């Protein structure tokens, strides 16, 4: 006689290890406002984003990876609300002219920072 295997589990106990928000090559000109608070990784590569409003980062306390290369950023975003968890920032090929060292120093968990271009570290 063959038995039947039944697996039962509860979705209430399921923990997601990674929540990724990705909109690459989407023609975005503004930073998205619909990012979930549990997001651990943001990839906004190859868009036309000019700025990152600081108020949109306040609730992203689990963010570990922030990718926004090949955009039109003119200011280095204030990533301090994510400082406890943010380990990687990739912002190459933007239009940054000044990179505030005070913000970078406060990103205590940061282990990888990728920038390119001509800018002044202040």
| Distance, CA of 64 to CA of 21 (rounded, Å) | 12
CATH label of the domain that carries residue 50: 3.80.10.10
Q: So what's the pLDDT on residue 1?
A: 43
Is there a domain that residue 38 lies in? Answer: yes
Pick from 52, 107, 65: which is nearest to 83 by CA? 107
Place of tokens 């800018």: 119
Q: Give 13's contacts (C-beta < 8 A, 6+ positions apart).
A: none
The domain total for the chain is 1
Is there a domain that residue 88 lies in? Answer: yes
Is there a domain that residue 2 lies in? Answer: no
Write out the H or E segment, with its range, that includes residue 105: helix 101-105
Query: Tell me: the pLDDT tens digits for 49-104?
Result: 999 999 999 999 999 999 999 999 999 999 999 999 999 999 999 999 888 999 99
Q: Domain range holding 69?
A: 18-122
Is there a domain that residue 9 lies in? Answer: no
Segment 32-60 shows an average pLDDT of 96
Is there a domain that residue 67 lies in? Answer: yes
pTM of the model: 0.83
Is there a domain that residue 7 lies in? Answer: no
Is there a domain that residue 35 lies in? Answer: yes
């Amino acid at each position: 006689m063959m038995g039947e295997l039944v697996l039962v589990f509860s979705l209430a106990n399921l923990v997601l290890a990674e929540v990724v928000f990705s909109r690459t090559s989407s023609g975005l000109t503004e930073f998205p406002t619909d990012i979930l608070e549990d997001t651990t990784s943001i990839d906004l590569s190859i868009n036309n984003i000019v700025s990152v409003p600081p108020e949109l980062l306040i609730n992203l306390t689990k963010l570990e990876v922030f990718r926004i290369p090949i955009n039109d950023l003119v200011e280095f975003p204030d990533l301090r609300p994510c400082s406890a968890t943010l380990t990687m920032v990739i912002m190459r090929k933007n239009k940054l002219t000044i990179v505030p060292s005070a913000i970078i120093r406060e990103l205590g968990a940061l282990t990888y920072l990728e920038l390119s271009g001509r800018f002044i570290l202040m």
